[in-house]
Amino acid sequence: MTLGAIKKEHLGQLVAAVGAHGGFYGPVLRDNDVCLDQVQPSDTLVLDYANFTLPPKGLFFPRSEVIATHGADGMVETPLPTGKAVLFGVRPCDAMSLTYLDKVFMEAQFADPYYRARRERTLTIALACRDPAATCFCTSVAGSPSGQGGADILAVDIGDALVLESATPAGEAFLAEYRKLLGRPSDNQVKARDAQVAQAVRKVSSIGSDGVTARLQASSESAAWEELAERCLGCGVCTFLCPTCHCFGLYDEEVGPQGRRVRAQDACVFPAFTLEASGHNPRTRQGLRMRHRVMHKFCYTAQSFGDIFCVGCGRCIVNCPANMDIRETLTEVPP
């Protein structure tokens, strides 16, 4: 574990220094919204946000991408990204989500080359939360507003400066490489960081999700799923904004003389997702689809990977047009 510190006014220098060697992705204003995007020379980093509208998964698993073109004698892979990238400013919940996606996309037997290339070139600097939103519940799902999971470095905002702490050897190497810009924090700065970390965790509300996996398992035949689903519009916004949802489809398109293969995010809450050519659909009703989505996150991944695939970011709560709330779903579905 190595520590570092940087005054906020010097962050631009860090961006420039890193940017000279690769891409620097950080919180910048785009259309009046704080977004994670590649930082341009004209940009200033923005540090006062609860979280981004979009989760970081799109940087590694884009909404849509051409993965190959059809050549005369087989398929030609789209070139994979090279060079290093730094991802700065993801919240700890979102950094954690990347470790879950890793388990799906980087498992040994069939690693996803596109996701892997982007992940392996990226160093992640998570920014601890000062003021968690009312919809945040990371502490109920194995997270924390200053959790280090998925981060190479955790940065904590202490007002005029950030205190950094490495969480991986790659993070340690980064702190060493940019030591001139990232000096060592004073004792007072470390104290301020510890106080900041302690106060933030108290602001996250608990949703009483203990034993949720077993409870949901027992509820799989409950009529409550159908009742809940009566409110669901099936729009899929919860899945597209969820940092861990990773359903997708592969599509072949004919474009000019050469076709191409596209991979695009998809969602299990859409009826056509499981519709077969024969007309058979194993999940015909919204209740079945909603149950599947919730069970996948809170039961199936717990069984197959040992982790609940929810990081408590609250995006699905904030953005649901029907005001559905996963916290209520988890506590109200009776066995």
Partner 1 sequence: MIEGVATNPYLTLPVTVEKITVENDARDLKTFRLAFRHKADRKGFRHECGQFAMLSAPGAGECPVGIASSPTDEEYVEFTVKRYPTGVVTSALHSLEEGDRIGVRGPYGNGFPLAAMEGMNIVIVGGGFAFTTLRATIRYLLHERSRPRFKKITAIYGARSPGELLYKEELMAWQGSPDMDMHVTVDKGDKTWTGREGFVPTVLGEVKPGAANAVALVCGPPAMLRFTMKPLLDLGFPPNHIITSLERRMSCGIGKCGRCSIGGQYVCKDGPVFTYEQIMQLSGGQF
Q: Does 237 bind partner 1 (CB under 8 A)?
A: no
Applying CB under 8 A, which of residues 49, 52, 60, 105 lies at the interface with partner 1?
Answer: 105
CB-based burial of residue 107 (10 Å sphere; 0-12 exposed, 13-18 middle, 19+ buried)?
exposed
Told to check if 278 binds partner 1 by CB under 8 A, we report yes
Q: Which is nearer to partner 1, 34 or 295 (CB)?
A: 295
Distances (CA, A) of 158 to 186, 189, 190, 247: 12, 7, 9, 38
103 lines the binding site for partner 1 (CB under 8 A): no
CA dihedral 121, 35, 1, 17 (to 10 degrees): 70
Nearer to partner 1, 224 or 247 (CB): 247
* Cα torsion 200, 37, 293, 328: sign: positive
Provide, rounded to whole angstroms, the least separation between the CB of residue 321 and partner 1.
23
Beta strand 22-30 with 33-38 is antiparallel
**Rounded distance between C-alpha atoms, residue 120 and residue 216, angstroms:** 35
Q: Which is nearer to partner 1, 181 or 316 (CB)?
A: 316
Enter the DSSP assignment of 221: T
**Contact region for partner 1 (CB under 8 A) — 27-35, 179-187, 290-298, 321-329?**
290-298
Query: Is residue 251 a contact residue for partner 1 (CB under 8 A)?
Result: yes
Work out which of 249, 284, 285, 322 binds partner 1, going by CB under 8 A: 249
Residues 58-77 interacting with partner 1 (rule: CB under 8 A):
67-68, 70, 73-75, 77
Of 133 and 275, CB closest to partner 1: 275
- Pick the binder of partner 1 from 48, 180, 254, 323 (CB under 8 A): 254
Residue closer to partner 1 by CB (options 75, 318) is 75
Chain centre to alpha carbon of residue 151: 12
138 binds partner 1 (CB under 8 A): no
Instruction: Identify which of 180, 221, 191, 220 has the alpha carbon closest to the alpha carbon of residue 14.
Output: 180
**CA nearest 67: which of 58, 54, 84, 80?**
80
Q: Does 151 bind partner 1 (CB under 8 A)?
A: no
> What is the Cα–Cα distance from 268 to 234, expressed in whole angstroms?
10
Near partner 1 in 312-331, by CB under 8 A: none
Binding residues (CB under 8 A) for partner 1: these are: 67-68, 70, 73-75, 77, 104-105, 107, 109-113, 246-254, 259, 261, 263, 266, 268, 273-279, 282, 292, 295-296, 299-300, 303-304
